[in-house]
Structure formats: structure tokens, C-alpha cells
Amino acid sequence: MTPFLRRAALLALSVAPVATTLAACGNAVDADVIGTAAVTVASDGRPVAVVRVCGGEVDTIRLMGDRTGLAEDEPNPVVGTWRVPAGRDGTFDLVLGAAGTGWQGPQELALDERRRYVLIAVDSGEDAETTQVSFTPDQLASLAPDQVVVGDGEVVARTELDACAG
């Protein structure tokens, strides 16, 4: 098991008994963690969501801005939401701001270089979601082709997403 997957498994095991996580909007929600969300960059510079679903499926990918300048009771601003009619499992990519394999969402995407963003994938019919990933446009610009950003901005090899923890 790779170091990243070991950390993900330990995190999942420590969160499972409580089963309460904080959503990006700051509200407490009960949700099963069913995989990992990551972000990389396409050859043309557009951000690419890389999602590894390990149990269940996801049908929504949401990109939000960070909490800079927001009051405690204000939700994170939603930058874009992409939906697909039938849930997806396994590992898949979605170029954000482009049409892709049945996903419906914004076709244009402009990221502010000074902001941090949060991406998550969810199953809208269940209380199930992937881990969130937090990133900046500068991080994406500095990635090698075989790297992704996970968690709170950690850069790892894309192969770290090939297997599920546990």
C-alpha cells in the first residue's frame, strides 16, 4: 500500500466512527467517504478533475471558491457544477470547462490566480462523497504530467489513485 493510500485509509478509519465531516460550506453533514478527488492540468492548461470512486458512484462534481472574505455563515461560492445522468464509478477524468462524456456543466471556466479552490465529487442520491481537494491555479501550472493534487494541496503521483485504500 502506498504512503498516500495508507494515510487515506487511516483518515477514513478515524472519521468513520464519528461519520460527521464538515462540508465546504461549513455545515456539518453525515456522509460516507467513497473515494478520492484530485486535480491535475490538461496540456492546454485547463484543470482536470480526477476522481477515484471505491464504493458506490458519483454523479456530481462541484468546484467552489475558498472562504476568503466570507462571513462564518456564508457558503463557499460555487464556481461550477457538473452532472451526469448515470453515476460513475472507478477512476475517471473530467476536463473542467469542456464537454466530456455525458457530463453537463459550464463550458467556460476562468480561475482567479489569487484564489484557492475546493473540488468534491458526490452521489446526489445518497449521503456519499469523495474526499475534497484544495488547490491553487499556480499549483496546477507547476504539475508534471504524471502528478495530481489531493487533500489540502498535497502533490502525489497519479498512480496513487489507481487502487482503493483498505
pLDDT of residue 156: 96
157 residue type, one letter: A
Judged against a pLDDT cut of 80, whether residue 24 lies above it is answered with no
Given a contact cutoff of 8 angstroms between Cβ atoms, the answer to whether 59 and 84 are in contact is yes
108: confidence class by pLDDT, cuts 50, 70, 90: confident
Judged against a pLDDT cut of 90, whether residue 120 lies above it is answered with yes
* Cα-based distances in Å from 29 to 21, 24, 87, 111, 146: 6, 10, 21, 28, 33
Given a contact cutoff of 8 angstroms between Cβ atoms, the answer to whether 61 and 51 are in contact is yes
**More confident site: 40 or 14:** 40
Judged against a pLDDT cut of 70, whether residue 113 lies above it is answered with yes
Cα 81 from Cα 79, distance rounded (Å): 7
Closest listed residue to residue 152, CA positions, set 4, 18, 20: 4
pLDDT of residue 20: 33
* Cα-based distances in Å from 8 to 16, 82, 108, 113, 137: 12, 25, 32, 28, 24
Cα 41 from Cα 44, distance rounded (Å): 8
Q: What's the mean per-residue pLDDT of the chain?
A: 83
99: confidence class by pLDDT, cuts 50, 70, 90: low
Residue 50, all three cell numbers: 480526477
Average pLDDT on 17-38 reads 60
Model pLDDT for residues 66-79, shown as the tens digit of each residue: 988 899 999 999 99
Residue ranges covered by each domain of the chain: 3-161
Q: What is the share, in percent, of the chain residues with pLDDT greater than 90?
A: 61
**More confident site: 145 or 9:** 145
> What is the pTM for the complete model shown?
0.80
Specify the residue for cell string 453537463. 104
Cα 48 from Cα 25, distance rounded (Å): 22
